Amino acid sequence: MSTTRRGESEAHLALKRLAFLWAQANGYPIAALEVSLPQCRYRADVVAYRPQRNGTLGHTVVFECKQSAPDLRRDDRSSLEMLARLESVYRRRQILEKHLRIHYPTLRTGDTLFPEWDAHDFGAIEHRGYQRVTRQLTALQNQLRDGRKFEKLVRYACANLFYLVLPDRLLRESEVPLGWGVLVEKGDVLILKRKPIWHDCSEASRLRILQRIASVSTRQLIRRLEIADPSQARIQPRFSIERNSNSS
């Protein structure tokens, strides 16, 4: 799979380009790629804004592009499901540790004054079942912390609408996050397969998104024009103030 200079796959970049073009063609004239979202630590692939004709603040839309199944599933893990699985694996680990303490009393480390508080080095016996459960527990904990992007974007009301952008081969209706619309790549265009659900988003959040779109677009233009970033340049005074010759 070919990649760009930033390490991004060409397929993923192509999906972002199609999402940008789709936004432009469907009433979202203000858009940018790789925009940090308010109220969360995530960055969206494409963010767009639709102004209102009456002059009031418009609404926002987020596009997340996924070009492979692992990429999709990494960001689509429901916290309730994850917590239930985590609790189940944690209970299995506790049961294993209980039995290992009985069958392997020599695993006690003896690092405290009271035997009942001693830790046990369960890794010393390389028990396959225990190692497998420990790996599962670690993976679930990591996923619970880092793998809930779709859910968090909706929960934190980061935008009014959310779209998942996928290649046609990757579409599985059962795996599409709840409340998200679906745009499927067919040829060189995106086809709307499912409409998104509207989410209320505060005016402050919408205004911050609009400001961040403008900021990203400005930085991209600065790089394209190959000019120095004005924010990094030191402003020199145009006129010098002559010192009064009579002053001491």
> What does the pLDDT read at residue 186?
92
CB atoms within 10 A of CB 226: 6
Class of domain 10-76+149-225: alpha beta
The per-residue pLDDT for 6 is 61
Helices of type H across the chain: 10-25, 69-74, 79-103, 128-146, 149-155, 203-225
Other CB atoms closer than 10 Å to residue 114's CB: what's the count?
A: 6
Alpha carbon 91 to its chain's center: 30
Task: Please tell me the distance from the alpha carbon of residue 80 to that of residue 70, in angstroms, as a whole number.
Answer: 20
Rounded CA-CA distance 152/112 in Å is 43
One pLDDT digit (tens) per residue for the chain, 248 residues: 566 556 678 999 999 999 999 999 999 999 999 999 988 889 999 999 999 988 889 999 999 999 988 777 777 767 777 778 888 988 988 898 788 777 677 655 554 444 544 555 666 666 788 889 888 888 887 676 667 788 889 989 999 999 999 999 988 887 788 889 999 999 889 999 999 999 999 999 999 999 999 999 999 889 889 887 666 555 444 444 444 445 44
Q: Is the backbone of residue 225 left (phi > 0), alpha (psi -120 to 50) or beta?
A: alpha
**DSSP code at position 32:** E
| φ, ψ for residue 48, nearest 5 deg | -135, 160
106 three-state secondary structure: helix
Token pair, residue 192, equals 């709307």
Burial of 6 (0-12, 13-18, 19+ CB in 10 A): exposed
| CATH 3.40.1350 domain range(s) in the chain | 10-76+149-225
Instruction: Tell whether pTM > 0.75.
Output: no
CA proximity to 159, closest of 197, 214, 216: 197
